[in-house]
Structure 1
Amino acid sequence: MPPTRPHPRLRYQILREQSPSWKTMGTIAGVIFLTTTPLIRPRGLVGRFPNLHCPSSKFSHCRTTANTATDAPPFQVSAAASSPSSAIDEEKEVTSSGNVGADDLLIVGPGVLGRLVAQKWREEHPGCQIHGQTVTADHHEELNEEGINPCLKGTKTTHKFPYVIFCAPPSRTSDYSADVRMAALNWNGEGSFLFTSSSAPYDCNNNGSCDEDTSVVPIGRNPRTDVLLKAEEVVLEFGGVVLRLAALYTSFMKVDAASLSVAILKKRLRNQILLGCDNHPLSRQEVMDLVTKSGKFSETFEAFTGTNDPLGKRLNNSKTREEIGWEPKYPSFAHFLESL
C-alpha cells in the first residue's frame, strides 16, 4: 500500500482564550494546513488529536486618500438590494445613539475572529460603537454582553460606517459576492474596508514558496477559489483591502489574525492585497511532533488517516509585515506551546 499524506480536513481543538479581560471566546478550531514535506508519511492509521488549551491582484504599494466609496449622503440599505437569503428582519433598522463616530466599526460575521477584532478595536478606541451583523439571532445576547450591537443580515442601516470588516465565511450564503458588496455599501469610504479572505487562491501547492506576489488560480479552475476571487474583486472595486489568511491554526491563530486585522484597519489603506501567516511553515506531522514533545497534554497522537490531496504552501508575508509594521504575538508554534 503506497504511503499517504495526512487528511487536510482533519480538525482538532486548538485554543480557548480565557484571559481576565476576555470573555470566553469558545474553542478556536482550524484546519491543519500543510506547508512542508512531512517528516513521516503516515499510513492510514487512525489516531487521536490532543486537546490544546491555553489559560489565558498582487501585493500593491499604491495608497490613495480619495473617497473610493460613493459620496452620496447616508442611505438605508434594505434586504431587497441583497441576495434572497438576506431577506431577514427587513423592517428593522440599525440606529446608534447620536451621530456616527469617527471610529465606529461594523463587523459582518462577528464570530470568534470578529469578536477578537471588536475587543482589540475597543481597547484602542474607547467610546466607539461596534455593530455586528449576523445571519441569525442565535448569538445576539452574547454579542450584547460583549458590547457589540447585533443586527440581522438584511437589516436597514440609517448611516454608513467609517470602518467595516467582513469576516463571514462563504458557507452560509448563496451569493457571497453580493453579501460583500452590501457590506461595502455600508462603508462611507473614510476609514477602512477590510475583507478577510483565504490563502487558497494562491496558485501554489506541493510545498511551493508563496508570498503576496504569487499568482492566483485562474477563474474557472476551482469553484471554491472562484467564490473568493470574485468577492475580492468587489472589495478592490470599492477601494478596500483584502487580507488572505493562512489556515487559522497553531501559532498563527485567530488572536494574531485579529491583531493584524486591526493594524490594517488603522492604516486606512486602499486597493491592497495582504497576507497573514506566521512565516514558520510546518507539516502536519511536525505540528503533532511538537505537541507530543511538549509533554503538556495527556492524550497521545498516533497517526493520520491519510489522503491523496496535494501538499500545501510555504507561506511568507514579510512584505505585509513591513508595510503594516506588525508582528504576531506568537512567532512560531513552538513559542505558543512554551506559553501554555
Structure 2
Amino acid sequence: MGTISCVSNFIFLSKNSISPSSQPFFKKPIPIFQSFNFSSSSLQVSASSTSGKAMVGENDLLIVGPGVLGRLVAEKWREEHPGCQIYGQTVTTDHHNELILLGINPFFKETKTDQKFPYVIFCAPPSKTPDYAGDIRLAALSWNGEGSFVFTSSSAPYDCNDNGPCDEDTPTVPIGRSPRTDTLLKAEKVVLEFDGCVVRLAGLYKMDRGAHFYWLHKGTVDARPDHILNLIHYEDAASLSVTILKKKLRGRIFLGCDNHPLSRQEVMDLVDKSGKFDKKFQGFTGTSDPLGKKLNNSNTRKELGWEPKYPSFAHFLGVSE
C-alpha cells in the first residue's frame, strides 16, 4: 500500500512555559504534533526538530479529558504497555505542565490535526461543552479503528427511581424526559454509531472526592437519606476502562459499580465510623426527592473477567459493613 503524507499543527513547549522545578527535564522545545506519514501498518510521526522521529505505535492512547479519571487510565495503560505514547486533549492549557510531568503529551482541543490513534478514551464531562455529542464525534474521528474507542458515561440513564434492582439490561430513560439523560444518551448513540464501547459508571469517589466528601463539607443536605447510591472507586473505574480498551470490543455497553449499593445515610454513617475525616456530617433533611436504584454489574464482570480493587465503600474505608 502506498504512503500518504500530511502535515498537522505544532505545539511547542519551551523551557519558559513550565515551572522552574521541571525545567531541567525540558532543555529543548518538545513537538507534540508534527508532519506524519501513515501506511497500512502504522502511523509515523516525522519531527522537524532535533528530537528525531517518533512513532504513533500500535498501543498509543489518546485521552480526551485527562482529569482525575483520565490520568488514572493513563497510569494503568502505561503499566500494561511500557514505552507507549499517551496523549491528552484538553479544553484549556491550564494543566498542561502537570500532564507533561505525568508523561502525558497534552494538546489543546482547538489544535487542528489529522492524526489518528489506535486507542481513544473519552473521559470529559458534559459540563465543559455546549455540544457534548459533537465533541464525542470529533474524538471518534481521531480513532483509526484498530484498537478500541471507549466512552465513560454515567449510570443515570437507567430508568429506575424506586430503589429497585438495575443491571446492564434495564431499559433507559426515554428521550425527552430529562435534559441530563438526553445529553448522555445522545452521546452514547454517537459512540455506538462509530462501533465504540460505552461504560456507564456509578458514582465515582476517592478519599477527598465524591458524594461523601461533598456532603461532609456541606454539613446539612436537603435530600432524603434513604435514596440508594451506587459507587465505584476512581481506580476501579480506570481499571475497568482499561480492561474494555484491551479487549478491542465493538458496539457494547458495560456497567461499572461495586455491587454494594448504599443509602445516603449508610454512606455517611460509614464515613463517621471510619474516623478518617475531621468534619462531622449533620444530616439529610429532604423527604420528597426521588429514590435511586440498586446497580448490579455481574454480567460485565463475568464477560470481561474484571473485579474491583475496592469491593465496597466500607472496604475502602477499612470498616466493617
Q: TM-score, normalised by structure 1?
A: 0.71
Structure ranking higher in helix proportion: 2
Q: Do the aligned partners of residues 271 and 76 (structure 1) sit closer, same or farther apart at CA in structure 2, a change above 3 Å counting?
A: farther
- Asked if residue 290 in structure 1 is aligned to residue 270 in structure 2, the reply is yes
* 2:142 alignment partner in structure 1: 186
* 2:317 alignment partner in structure 1: 337
Q: Contact 2:61/2:87 (CA < 8 Å) preserved in 1?
A: yes
* 2:172 alignment partner in structure 1: 216
Q: TM-score, normalised by structure 2?
A: 0.75
Q: Do the aligned partners of residues 287 and 102 (structure 1) sit closer, same or farther apart at CA in structure 2, a change above 3 Å counting?
A: same
Distance 2:265 2:100 in 1: 41
- Asked if residue 201 in structure 1 is aligned to residue 157 in structure 2, the reply is yes
Which consecutive unaligned segments of at least 5 residues does structure 1 have?
Answer: 1-71, 79-91
Distance 1:202 1:335 in 2: 26
Q: Do the aligned partners of residues 75 and 93 (structure 1) sit closer, same or farther apart at CA in structure 2, a change above 3 Å counting?
A: farther
Q: Do the aligned partners of residues 188 and 75 (structure 1) sit closer, same or farther apart at CA in structure 2, a change above 3 Å counting?
A: farther
Q: Do the aligned partners of residues 202 and 111 (structure 1) sit closer, same or farther apart at CA in structure 2, a change above 3 Å counting?
A: same
CA-CA distance at 1:158 after TM superposition: 4.3
In the alignment, residue 181 of structure 1 is paired with which amino acid? Answer: R
Which consecutive unaligned segments of at least 5 residues does structure 2 have?
Answer: 10-30, 35-44, 46-52, 207-230
In the alignment, residue 221 of structure 1 is paired with which amino acid? Answer: R
Q: Do the aligned partners of residues 170 and 267 (structure 1) sit closer, same or farther apart at CA in structure 2, a change above 3 Å counting?
A: same
Of 245, 249, 253, the residue aligned with 1:273 is 253
Greater alpha carbon shift after TM alignment, 167-176 vs 295-304: 295-304
Of 117, 124, 138, the residue aligned with 1:161 is 117
Q: Contact 2:87/2:105 (CA < 8 Å) preserved in 1?
A: yes
- Asked if residue 144 in structure 1 is aligned to residue 113 in structure 2, the reply is no
* 1:236 alignment partner in structure 2: 192
Structure ranking higher in strand proportion: 2
| Root mean square deviation, CA, Å | 2.1
Q: Contact 1:275/1:320 (CA < 8 Å) preserved in 2?
A: yes
In the alignment, residue 118 of structure 1 is paired with which amino acid? Answer: A
Distance 2:120 2:8 in 1: 15
Q: Do the aligned partners of residues 74 and 205 (structure 1) sit closer, same or farther apart at CA in structure 2, a change above 3 Å counting?
A: farther
Counterpart secondary structure, 1:252: strand
Higher relative contact order (CA 8 A, sep 6+): 1
Q: Contact 1:93/1:155 (CA < 8 Å) preserved in 2?
A: no
1:66-116 CA deviation, whole Å, 9 max, x = no partner? xxxxxx9787789xxxxxxxxxxxxx9734542310000000000000000
Distance 1:198 1:334 in 2: 22
Q: Which of 1 and 2 has greater Rg?
A: 2
Q: Contact 2:201/2:232 (CA < 8 Å) preserved in 1?
A: no
Distance 1:73 1:239 in 2: 25
CA-CA distance at 1:304 after TM superposition: 1.9
The alignment of Structure 1 onto Structure 2 pairs a total of residues equal to: 255
